[in-house]
Chains A and B, each alone.
Chain A
């Protein structure tokens, strides 16, 4: 188990290192970040002054090394637009995004797992078909559009919920649904497939033969085994969700880290964009690492992989 964790940790670190290099170099795509920052109307001298000020005149690898070492100490430089340290800017905004991410994954789990279980107990029944339809339709629905429709119906027509902002828990209901529904189809399909698989296995037949009650068989024996892959899928989905929160936050004007990303991209705020790409990647890397370790702990067969 320890070897597995160490191996997996090494891989995670290597991935994190590569991602940090890519997210840093992405912003040199334009060729000259100083010219991009100065804008089209700036004179040659202005561009040159900016280049000196931000150190763009040095080799890229030197800049990357410096950036990486400060980033490791938690210093991502200063935002061009907000004139504040990027690290504290992101830390402030992450609270909303994390709240949204946790609510979203909880919403997805509490709706998708029961649906998947019921669909597996009665395959090809009406509920199974409805669940399948929902999962196919859910995957095809553009999340920004779904969000706007919810606003029109529940905020404007019915007036039950506030359309935007983050002042109270009510503001999080619609964003949670929009962020969470996206993860539902995958979780539901995996729960259903896992349950179907487990319910056909020998140990379930044995449990039934011993005279265990149906509820006990379903929940104590079957679900416990079927849920193992779902746990790791949920962790991976959580990583994806944080990255996807950029769309949801801009629809509902929630000023979280996703909204910050959108603002800083639109304003050419390079240090903030670099830091955000890195932070969102780190979340994904940490979540998948946790998922793999959890999986190996729950299911020893996974440890050899």
Chain B
């Protein structure tokens, strides 16, 4: 095992898989861009109390709808104020918390449900597989926006309800992808070998299957997180998601809609931020797929 120090041996063997992964990641522009934006916005969300110039809930009837700096406003309110005189930049910063939290937790819940279903279907096959496929079909037939709106309306719009509803609705892609990946892996010889030496089923699932499907899982987590963020914004925009005065970007677009004719920036700014966040998460997901599975690149 001394050949690691031998430059000749290293040259023959070439770079290690980790080194190749790292160099592929660093040369992938979409991944770098997406990841930087996501990290930046996560930091903004975490540091919201430090970064926000004002209290996002503080109303001021004297300074309503002050335009942003680039439209003739002052630095007191860099992005202006809304119809209740609340500082727009501060609301945007706190809104990042709402979006990221909903996206992350909803993706986590649906990820656990979907992965359990998909891995079970792929590994056990037969009746389990048929049942899971049936559940996926049922889930896909339900109109997501409509069902989510109806449930939120019945249970009341709070952050917890929105997160749970989205988490319980968005597991379909996890199940489909995890089923396909598991199916592929469970036909390999080393799974048969593990079965032959008497490894228990949970052990095979956790130590043989999971490590080999986790790359695909991470990609779906990012894509579903983006999906959940967009859905939350749409629900809040329709007035049946996160309720005022909580700063949600979708809600901000909805509140600005009535003043859209005279103050288009009220709608423009939260929409652009939402677009950038979702774009960055999607680019990160696509990038991760390219980097971790270069052979599957199209």
Contacts and interface: CB of A to CB of B under 8 A. Distances in A.
Interface of A: 11, 14-16, 18-19, 22-23, 26-27, 29-30, 36, 136-137, 139-145, 148-149, 151-152, 156, 193, 196, 242-244, 246-247, 250, 261-262, 265-266, 268, 273, 276-277, 280-281, 284-285, 288
Nearest to B147: A277
A48 B233 CA distance: 38
A285 B138 CA distance: 9
A266 B240 contact: yes
Contact of B230 (A137, A142, A152, A280): A142
A266 B141 CA distance: 23
B138 A152 contact: no
A288 B257 CA distance: 36
A16 B233 CA distance: 29
B177 interface: no
15 contacts: A14-B134, A19-B141, A29-B154, A29-B155, A144-B237, A152-B260, A244-B145, A246-B145, A246-B146, A261-B146, A261-B149, A262-B238, A266-B240, A284-B140, A288-B141
Interface in B138-176: 138, 140-147, 149-151, 153-155
B261 A140 contact: no
B278 interface: yes
Contacts, number: 132
Question: Which 6 pairs, one residue from A and one from B, show the smallest C-beta to C-beta distance?
Answer: A243-B143, A145-B271, A140-B279, A140-B278, A280-B143, A281-B141
A250 B238 CA distance: 8
Contact of A246 (B149, B260, B286): B149
Q: Which of B142, B147, B233, B271 has the most CB of A within 10 A?
A: B142
Interface of B: 134, 137-138, 140-147, 149-151, 153-155, 226, 230, 233-234, 237-240, 250, 253, 257, 260-261, 264, 267-268, 271, 274-275, 278-279, 282-283, 286, 298
A144 B234 contact: yes
A141 B138 CA distance: 27
Given A29-B154, A136-B283, A140-B275, A152 B267 contact: yes
A151 to B, nearest CB: 7
Q: Which of A144, A268, A281 has the most CB of B within 10 A?
A: A144
Contact of A142 (B146, B154, B233): B233
A119 to B, nearest CB: 11
Contacts of A22: 138, 142
Nearest to A282: B141
B298 A29 contact: no
Contacts of B153: 265-266, 268
A36 B141 contact: no
Given A247-B234, A247-B238, A26 B282 contact: no
Contact of B145 (A15, A36, A148, A247): A247
Contacts of B144: 243
B149 to A, nearest CB: 5
Contact of B138 (A15, A140, A156, A247): A15
A30 B260 contact: no
Given A15-B138, A149-B271, A265 B257 contact: no
B298 A156 contact: no
A11 B143 contact: no
A284 B151 CA distance: 20
B261 A156 contact: yes
Contacts of A265: 146, 149-150, 153, 240
Contacts of B250: 142, 144
A29 B151 contact: yes
Contacts of B233: 142, 144-145
B298 to A, nearest CB: 6
Given A15-B134, A26-B147, A26-B151, 13 more contacts: A22-B142, A29-B154, A136-B279, A137-B279, A141-B275, A144-B234, A145-B253, A148-B253, A243-B145, A246-B145, A246-B146, A277-B146, A284-B143
